[in-house]
Homo-oligomer: A and B are copies of this chain.
Amino acid sequence: MESKISNSIAISFYLLLIINFSIVESSNKIHAHRPCKTLSFYFHDILYNGENAKNATSAIVGAPAWGNLTKLAGQNNFGDLIVFDDPITLDNNIHSNPVGRAQGFYIYDKKEIFTSWLGFSFVFNSTQHKGNINFAGADPIMNKTRDISVIGGTGDFFMTRGIATIMTDSFEGEVYFRLRVDIKLYECW
């Protein structure tokens, strides 16, 4: 009987190994869709228009032949490249204490409607967060929510990846907008 039991154990062992290896082989394909970390912020963009040098947090630095550097171009701003250094706040009040800076660029990239492409970082250096979160992706501005990629991070956000859902929380003419960003990290190290 002992051998019978040994056999049972051997078989269970063998089966478990198979299960293990099949799981591991595909481990980079089966992922939980539950975030390992979530964060929400607002950031505030005041575009330079030739008259607001003191308050402006962003500026047009590239424009198509039909545009210029103090006014967004015709055809839904197509081709305008904007560099920004925007304050990040925890609520939607631009006067709240900034917890970091959103730094990088966006490009308006469609003639028929407002859309843009973003490359930027959230830069944190407070007691609560130290380190950067890096973002890239297409932003179809007219959609209520839109997703871009978290492509990496440093410091507290070492090697992270995820999705950031962007919502336009306020839009005031050509000078001010406020975005809400809900960050869901799915890879945390």
Contact = CB atoms under 8 A, between A and B. Distances in A.
Number of copies: 3
A39 interface: no
27 contacts: A13-B15, A20-B23, A27-B27, A28-B28, A28-B186, A29-B188, A33-B158, A33-B189, A61-B107, A62-B62, A64-B69, A83-B107, A83-B109, A84-B109, A85-B110, A103-B117, A103-B138, A104-B107, A117-B120, A119-B136, A121-B138, A123-B140, A132-B138, A136-B136, A149-B153, A152-B161, A154-B163
A161 B163 contact: no
B65 A79 contact: no
Nearest to A112: B85
Interface residues of A, dominant DSSP: mixed
A43 interface: no
A68 B17 CA distance: 64
Interface stretch (A3-11, A90-98, A168-176): A3-11
Interface of A: 1-2, 4-6, 8-9, 12-13, 15-17, 19-21, 23-33, 36, 48, 50, 59-65, 67-70, 78-81, 83-85, 101, 103-105, 107-111, 115, 117, 119-121, 123, 131-132, 134, 136-138, 140, 147-155, 158-159, 161-163, 186-189
